[in-house]
């Protein structure tokens, strides 16, 4: 089933099933390229999937055996993480957007380096150019100093999120998982793929994982590191492994994107797309497990929205809270 949206309802009075999931089916848009030439398919798909058009262009070209396109998927990753860090995350605590940061995002390369300094704060920008290389002590000092709006926001998140809340440990999909899911149309096993994929080996993330596991805060921090890497012009780690012929990978803001094409006599006869949300929003997938690991208290609605922000789905996730919890959307 192609997922167009996911409705999630929370009912604190229901002991056995507090979180109820109702997927909203959508059309299999990838079939629009069946019957077309590989070149026509590669041109159309990024326009159909315009949320992450650059990533789709890269994956489509690889799946169709075409040269890698000149599209820059880095800009869309920057935009996705920046809107979250500078607008959506502050709103979780009733704050407004960091308009100065959003304005710099659309500027020149020099503006982006200035934005990186704006995120880190002048002290850290001068002494520690790569937050991913920081020790936990150095990172704690950055949070405590709160010399930038982003540092203050991350400190607020750190103070709000207990490491046990929403913590989930799932393996990333390996090549066999991806090939099977593309063939069967749905993931066979519970796996996760998010912006954190490429950051497990970064010293700061590695040390935090050893202390608290894959907590909500660590997931949010990985998105911030992905943003900082992009502002420095770093495309970030590439997807693991080389896929077989007919399958193309791309690293999108939300995780691993996979395309599979079958071409006969110069015509596309079958096309399938496996988005990160196919793994993360599966019935027993990452988001379902994260929500099940949240406490039931006055903060449940806020924590649920933080969990959705950490997963960063590529389809709308609508949250509703019943029996005393206020309603809201994510």
Q: What angle do CA 115, 130, 78 make, to 5 degrees?
A: 45
Q: What is the pLDDT of residue 100?
A: 85
Q: Picking from 117-131, 165-179, 266-280, which range would have the lowest pLDDT averaged per residue?
A: 117-131
Distance (Å, rounded) from C-alpha 231 to C-alpha 114?
Answer: 9
User: Which pLDDT tens digit goes with each residue over 193-232?
Assistant: 999 998 999 999 999 999 999 999 999 999 999 999 988 8
User: Which pLDDT tens digit goes with each residue over 293-302?
Assistant: 999 999 999 9
- To the nearest 10°, the Cα dihedral for 208, 165, 275, 70? -40
Distance (Å, rounded) from C-alpha 310 to C-alpha 300?
Answer: 15
Element (H, E) at 149: helix 149-160
Taking a C-beta distance cutoff of 8 angstroms, is the pair 207, 113 a contact? no
pLDDT band at residue 1 using 50, 70 and 90 as cut-offs: low
Q: What angle do CA 11, 17, 22 make, to 5 degrees?
A: 80
Q: Which residue has the tokens 């405590």?
A: 144
Closest CA to 226 of 241, 212, 205: 205
Element (H, E) at 153: helix 149-160
Closest CA to 42 of 211, 263, 198: 263
Q: 317-322 and 2-11: which strand pairing? A: parallel
Taking CB atoms within 8 Å and a gap of at least 24, the contacts of 204-207 are: 204/131, 204/132, 204/133, 204/134, 204/135, 204/136, 204/139, 205/132, 207/135, 207/136
Q: What is the pLDDT of residue 104?
A: 85
pLDDT band at residue 17 using 50, 70 and 90 as cut-offs: confident
Alpha helices (H) along 190-311? 203-212, 216-231, 276-280, 286-292, 300-311
Distance (Å, rounded) from C-alpha 213 to C-alpha 281?
Answer: 21
pLDDT band at residue 329 using 50, 70 and 90 as cut-offs: very low
Domain residue spans of the chain: 2-322
DSSP at 148: S
- Is pLDDT above 80 for 74? no
Backbone φ, ψ for residue 2 (5° rounding): -85, 130
Question: Pick the residue with more confidence: 258 or 239?
Answer: 258
User: Which pLDDT tens digit goes with each residue over 118-164?
Assistant: 899 876 544 555 899 999 999 999 999 888 999 999 999 999 999 99
Q: Which CATH class is domain 2-322?
A: mainly alpha
Distance (Å, rounded) from C-alpha 141 to C-alpha 29?
Answer: 48
Mean pLDDT over each residue of the chain, to the nearest integer: 90
Helix (H, G, I), strand (E, B) or coil at 240: coil
- Is pLDDT above 60 for 326? no
Q: Output the CA–CA distances (angstroms, integers) from residue 298 to 36, 84, 324, 325, in the order listed.
A: 53, 24, 9, 8
Q: What is the pLDDT of residue 14?
A: 80
Distance (Å, rounded) from C-alpha 311 to C-alpha 89?
Answer: 13
How many separate helices (H) and strands (E) can be counted in the chain? 15, 6
């Amino acid at each position: 089933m192609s997922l167009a949206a996911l409705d999630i309802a929370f009912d604190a009075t229901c002991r056995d099933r507090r979180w109820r999931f109702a997927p909203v089916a959508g059309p299999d848009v990838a079939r629009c390229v069946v019957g077309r030439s590989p070149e026509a398919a590669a041109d159309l798909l990024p326009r159909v999937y315009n949320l992450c058009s650059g990533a789709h262009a890269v994956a489509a070209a690889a799946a169709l055996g075409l040269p890698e396109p000149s599209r820059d998927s880095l800009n869309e990753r920057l935009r996705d993480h920046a809107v979250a860090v500078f607008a959506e995350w502050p709103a979780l605590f009733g704050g407004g957007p960091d308009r100065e940061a959003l304005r710099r995002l659309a500027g020149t390369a020099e503006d982006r380096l200035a934005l990186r300094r704006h995120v880190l704060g002048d002290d850290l920008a001068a002494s520690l150019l790569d937050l991913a290389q920081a020790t936990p002590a150095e990172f704690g000092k950055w949070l405590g100093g709160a010399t930038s709006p982003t540092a203050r926001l991350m400190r607020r998140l750190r103070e709000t999120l207990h490491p046990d809340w929403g913590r989930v440990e799932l393996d990333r999909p390996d090549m066999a998982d991806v090939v099977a899911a593309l063939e069967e149309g749905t993931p066979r096993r519970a796996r996760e793929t998010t912006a954190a994929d490429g950051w497990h080996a970064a010293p700061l993330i590695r040390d935090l994982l050893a202390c608290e596991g894959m907590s909500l805060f660590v997931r949010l921090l990985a998105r911030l590191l992905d943003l900082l890497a992009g502002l420095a012009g770093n495309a970030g780690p590439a997807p693991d492994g080389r896929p077989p012929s007919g399958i193309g990978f791309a690293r999108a803001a939300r995780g691993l994107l996979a395309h599979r094409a079958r071409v006969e006599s110069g015509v596309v006869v079958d096309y399938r797309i496996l988005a990160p949300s196919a793994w993360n929003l599966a019935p027993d997938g990452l988001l379902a497990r994260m929500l099940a690991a949240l406490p039931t208290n006055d903060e449940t609605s806020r924590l649920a929205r933080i969990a959705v922000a950490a997963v960063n789905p590529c389809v709308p996730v609508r949250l509703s809270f019943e029996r005393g919890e206020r309603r809201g959307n994510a």
